[in-house]
Copies of this chain bind each other. A is one copy, B any other.
Amino acid sequence: MSRWEPNTRVRLLDAALDLFGERGYDSVTVAEIAERAGLTKRTFFRHFSDKREVLFAGQEVLSRLFAEAIADAPASATPIEAVAAALQAAATPFGPQRRDRARQVQAVVAGHSDLRERELLKLATLRAAMADALSARGVPAPTATLAAEIGGLAFTTGFARWVAPGNEREFGELAGEALDELMAATTALG
């Protein structure tokens, strides 16, 4: 990354991914990540509490984007239409130019059980953000939670397909498709 990259969190993530790729996740230190990004260790810790967190650099932005998209959906939108709008909002941070980086993140996370656990927690936060935003629109309790769970499933399914080897389709399209499949599946529950 160039030194004038405006997004410090992304700079730190990309420096970390380069180092993890060169030497493996376990042996890289926070000091080395900061140095590679041209930043101080102190700056790193202003943004992330530890080395693991840097891999989830985009999570907070994503929660905010999801909540805003749900809040901004037209008053006439059904709960699932609001969730669909949230998934489309993620298409911006998950643009084609970030797909290879997302694949690198995925490879590191998949190889470490503590990172997979942290990923589950981040997903729970994402679902909670959607459920809260739906409640704020007046969607009643069980429907809001259920719509957020389905949104979370569509998100993880869409993401897995987006980073799959050889995929060139866009995140928004894949997540929208996964949401449609889940809604179709609701009729097969019995």
Contacts and interface: CB of A to CB of B under 8 A. Distances in A.
Interface in A59-95: 77-81
Given A117-B121, A121-B120, A189 B145 contact: no
Interface residues of A, number: 29
Contacts of A140: 185, 188
**Identical chains in the assembly:** 2
A167 interface: no
A165 interface: no
30 contacts: A77-B190, A78-B189, A78-B190, A79-B188, A80-B189, A81-B190, A117-B117, A117-B121, A120-B120, A120-B121, A120-B124, A140-B185, A140-B188, A142-B157, A142-B181, A142-B182, A142-B184, A142-B185, A143-B188, A143-B189, A146-B150, A146-B153, A146-B182, A146-B185, A146-B186, A146-B189, A149-B149, A149-B153, A183-B189, A186-B189
A169 B122 CA distance: 34
A70 to B, nearest CB: 13
Interface centre among A124, A185, A190 (most CB of B within 10 A): A190
A34 interface: no
Nearest to A183: B189
Interface of A: 77-81, 117, 120-121, 124, 140, 142-143, 145-147, 149-150, 153, 157, 178, 181-186, 188-190
A120 B120 CA distance: 8
Contacts of A80: 189-190
